[in-house]
A and B are shown apart, each in its own frame.
Chain A
Amino acid sequence: MPAATANQTIGPYWHLIEHAEWADLTRFGANGEVITVTGCVRDGDGAPVADAAIEIWQADPPVDAAFPGFGRARCDAEGRFRFRTLKPGPVAGRGNAWQAPHLALALHARGVLKPLFSRLYFAGDPRNESDPLLSAITDPARRETLLAHEIGAGHWHLDIRLQGAGETVFLTV
């Protein structure tokens, strides 16, 4: 078998497959702790990345007919994105480890030739201290780039920096 097919950039016109309602993971009637997740994406110059697609995927709560576990949102002219979803619980890790509650992130954009993967964790959750990925990041400033902060009741915010000062920790999955 050949190797996996190569990625190519999503380009600036991916909005042809955008459906704004996909940013609301509760739209099929999911029950649970509803949260809003927002953020802002900036490039190496600090300029907003206005044409990015942000995707979230969560293994918890488990996917069912009422909860797709997956969402996609556009960045607006200021680089801002917004989701509505259910707050995840912890997820089993490898071996006997547990992972702190988190969302998986994938970012696609013009100038990004293959998906950029990252994660969003929830600042202040005591389970972050024993999370295998967070524990492996020894530089507190780098670790901080994965921590969303609650800026209002049930409203979590995480800025994403593609390059340079405060660059987000990106992952090879």
Chain B
Amino acid sequence: MSDPAPFHPLTPGTQPEYDTPSYGSTAKRHPQAALIAVPTTLTEANGPRFSPLHFPALADLSVTAGRPALGERIIVEGRVSDEDGRPVANTMVEIWQANAAGRYDHPGDQHDAPLDPNFHGEGRVFTDAEGRYRFVTIKPGAYPWRNHPNAWRPNHIHFSLFGSGFAQRLITQMYFPGDPLLELDPIYHAIADRAARERLISRFDVALTQPEWALGYRFDIVLRGRGATPMENT
């Protein structure tokens, strides 16, 4: 039996640290002991496969029961590939977000902004054979949080991806270009490497924009790669 090809180690500085003092909620929730490195085994090299039969796609968040949500309609499109440049095909992409007023349809969100009965904020799409995904939603609003005085989260859409191996699990947030709150946001700035941070900012794309209908934003995602095809031990 051949050993699975190991995933590339993560590039230093391109991922946030668990212990990020500027983000207060990390204080009691980060491990203090050193993490133990496990080599890539079948456990990490394999991962769940989600069939659209059991996990139906929900690609248009902007309409609920035929009624349009309030806010600026947008198209979000991108490509999921791995660090070796290979497309990640047929993989599930989960998204969730606040409404246009900056309020989540969630009992824990007590922000004094209106709920929208026509916007829930959950989406799920699958990439095609070239790793492309696309969904339609409304642009989420900014909202206050209590991390520091007058703290506001920049507009963002949450993303969850699985890839083909459990070690590729990715939970991230997509931001919007030109948002003045980004420079003030400790979650965004938890990523030390500037280029890695800026890759979380989607790009406005007039070619993706549909006239008279919706603005287009492009957001490409890279999952961990694992180098060459595994060698067969014979």
In the complex with contacts A6-B16, A7-B172, A70-B48 CB distance below 8 A: yes
User: Does A11 make an interface contact (CB < 8 A)?
Assistant: yes
Give the docked Cα–Cα distance between A142 and B225 (Å).
Answer: 31
Q: Are A162 and B41 in contact (CB under 8 A)?
A: no
Contact stretch, chosen from A108-116, A122-130, A148-156: A108-116
Q: A10-B158, A115-B171 are known contacts. Are A4 and B27 too (CB-CB below 8 A)?
A: no
Of A1, A2, A8, A119, chain B has the most CB atoms within 10 Å of the CB of A8
- Please tell me the number of chain B residues within 8 Å of chain A, measured between CB atoms: 82
With an 8 A cutoff between CB atoms, is B33 at the interface? yes
CB atoms of A136 and B23 under 8 A apart = no
Which residue among A51, A119, A170 has the maximum number of chain B CB atoms within 10 Å of its CB? A170
Q: What is the bound-complex CA distance between A13 and B171, given in angstroms?
A: 13
Q: Please, which residues of chain B bring their CB within 8 A of the CB of A20?
A: none
Do the beta carbons of A111 and B29 come within 8 Å of each other?
Answer: yes
Q: When the two chains form their complex, are residues B169 and A106 in contact, meaning their CB atoms are under 8 A apart? A: yes
Bound complex: CA A167 to CA B30 (Å): 10
Given A94-B39, A115-B171, answer yes or no on A1-B187 (Cβ-Cβ < 8 Å). Answer: no
Nearest-CB residue, chain B, relative to A106? B169
Q: A57-B43, A69-B48, A133-B36 are in contact. Are A106 and B200 (CB under 8 A)?
A: no
A167 and B28: CB pair below 8 A? no
One digit per residue, 1 when the CB lies within 8 angstroms of any chain A CB and 0 when it does not, for chain B 55-84 equals 000000000000000000000000001111
Distance, CA A69 to CA B166, complexed state (A): 11
Bitwise interface map of B from 29 to 46 toward A, beta carbon under 8 Å scored 1, else 0: 111110111111111101
Chief secondary structure at chain A's binding surface: loop
Most buried by A among B16, B17, B195: B16
Cβ contact of B10, chosen from A4, A10, A15, cutoff 8 A:
A4
- Known contacts A44-B27, A63-B48, A68 near B54 by CB under 8 Å: yes
Q: How far is the CA of A82 from the CA of B15 in the complex (A)?
A: 30
Instruction: Kindly state the separation between the CA atoms of A16 and B103 in the bound complex, as whole angstroms.
Output: 12
A35 within 8 A of B: no
Contact with A along B7-29 (1 / 0, CB 8 A): 10011001111101001111111
Specify the chain A residue showing the minimal Cβ separation from B122.
A16
Least CB separation from A9: chain B residue = B187
Within 8 Å of chain B (Cβ to Cβ): is A26?
A: no
Q: Are A4 and B200 in contact (CB under 8 A)?
A: no
Contact A163 B30 (CB under 8 A): yes
CA distance A112 to B36 in the complex (A): 18
Contact of A162 among B17, B31, B83 (CB under 8 A): B31
A10 touches B44 (CB 8 A): no
> B residues within 8 A CB of A68?
48-50, 54
Q: Which of A43, A58, A102, A114 has the most CB of B within 10 A?
A: A114
Residues of B within 8 A of A116 (CB): 18, 31
Contact A7 B170 (CB under 8 A): yes
Cα of A92 to Cα of B43 in the assembled complex, Å: 9
Q: Is B191 an interface residue (CB 8 A)?
A: yes
Task: Say yes or no: B169 contacts A13, CB within 8 Å.
Answer: no
**Residue on A nearest B196 in the bound complex, by CB:** A6
Is B197 in contact with chain A by the CB < 8 A criterion? yes
- Per CB-CB distance, the 5 closest pairs between chain A and chain B, nearest first, are A111-B25, A70-B48, A113-B16, A44-B28, A3-B11
List 6 contacting pairs A-B, 8 Å CB cutoff, sorted by A: A1-B82, A4-B222, A5-B222, A110-B29, A112-B29, A172-B36
Extra contacts, 12 of them, besides A4-B83, A8-B173 (Cβ < 8 A), are A4-B10, A4-B222, A5-B200, A6-B16, A16-B121, A44-B27, A94-B41, A102-B43, A114-B171, A163-B31, A172-B36, A172-B37
